[in-house]
Amino acid sequence: MRGNGGRMQEWIKYAALFVLAVAAFGVAAIALMGPQGAGEAGPVPSSTLEATPTPSASVAPTSPAPAPTAAATTPQPGIALPAEPVLLVMGDSYTAGVGADQPDQGWAYLVAGQLGYPTNIDGVSGTGFAWGGGGQDELAGEYEVRLQEIAADPAFVPNVLILQGGQNDSRIPNLEEVTAATAQTIEAARRFWPGVQVVVLGPSAPQPLAEELRGVNSAVRAGAAAAGAPFIDATEAGWFTTANSPGFDADGAHPNSAGHAYIAEKFLQSWAALIQ
């Protein structure tokens, strides 16, 4: 019996070892299967994480941002329209309405009528920012001179000024003088009437004259920019083209009534953008 008991104990021992082995095998199998199931619903793979920008990368780029362009840093200035605008329009023969059937069909009169402000219109043929009129620039009709004469009368005090012109300034040999005269005229107006809002309308003419005015147009534009005044650029905007000029041309240098109405329409579109 003792021998049988010993054999029984050995059998029990081996049976227990067998059960432990089976259990260990099952645990190992579960462990091997576990990572696959976790991977299906687990974190994003490391390669994807590396491709996703981190907060520090988006806030502090490794390379500096490009410098702003000149257009972004010096946008076209606008005007602060007074609560009760009083308007002065000064210019050359265009402002005088030359070429229209009647002077009051000129662009300046049409604009004044549309805006509805108390307005004085001062247009003198053959004058400009630097050119005073006459064949030899002898008439002293430059815009600054005329502004000073108007400012001497306290009965009229404008707070909005439109300066139109440049066509006659093309007779000045040195266009730098035109640039300087344009800026000087604007600054003079601001001294005469502190707080006055100034807008410059550059030269405009039916083709082919419009092409010949590009140089003086650039000079007037530069003067307006130097004085910080908005400039309405009819030349570069292509108001007059070879296609529309025949219908707007009075004499090769001035617009007819339809041309004046067209200038007024284009000006008012630009004006609306400046006062927003």
pLDDT above 90 (res 118): yes
pLDDT tens-digit map of 203-230: 999 999 999 999 999 999 999 999 999 9
Lowest mean pLDDT among 15-29, 110-124, 202-216: 15-29
Looking at residues 9-27, what average pLDDT do you find? 41
Sign (positive or negative) of CA dihedral 205, 119, 157, 84: negative
**Sheet strand arrangement including 231-232:** 119-123, 87-91, 160-164, 197-201, 231-232
Lowest mean pLDDT among 8-17, 38-47, 193-202, 258-267: 38-47
Q: What whole-number distance in Å separates Cα of residue 189 and Cα of residue 228?
A: 13
Give me the pLDDT at residue 225, please.
Answer: 98
Looking at residues 137-150, what average pLDDT do you find? 98
pLDDT above 80 (res 35): no
Looking at residues 92-99, what average pLDDT do you find? 98
Helix axes 143-151, 175-192, angle to 10 degrees: 10
Give me the pLDDT at residue 47, please.
Answer: 30
Peptide bond into 208 cis (omega under 30): yes
Identify whether the C-beta of residue 237 lies closer than 8 Å to the C-beta of residue 201.
no
Q: What whole-number distance in Å separates Cα of residue 35 and Cα of residue 171?
A: 88
Identify whether the C-beta of residue 172 lies closer than 8 Å to the C-beta of residue 214.
no
Sequence-distant (6+) residues with CB within 8 A of 184 are 144, 223
Looking at residues 181-197, what average pLDDT do you find? 98
Give the bridge partners for 160, in sequence order.
Answer: 87, 197
Q: What whole-number distance in Å separates Cα of residue 133 and Cα of residue 130?
A: 9
Query: Which residue did the predictor score with more confidence, 28 or 186?
Result: 186
Task: Using pLDDT thresholds of 50, 70 and 90, give the confidence band for residue 51.
Answer: very low
Give me the pLDDT at residue 182, please.
Answer: 98
pLDDT above 90 (res 72): no
Looking at residues 94-109, what average pLDDT do you find? 98
Give me the pLDDT at residue 77, please.
Answer: 82
* E-state strands within the chain: 87-91, 119-123, 160-164, 197-201, 231-232
Q: What whole-number distance in Å separates Cα of residue 127 and Cα of residue 193?
A: 22
Looking at residues 12-39, what average pLDDT do you find? 39
Nearest-10 Cα torsion for 72, 268, 83, 95: 110
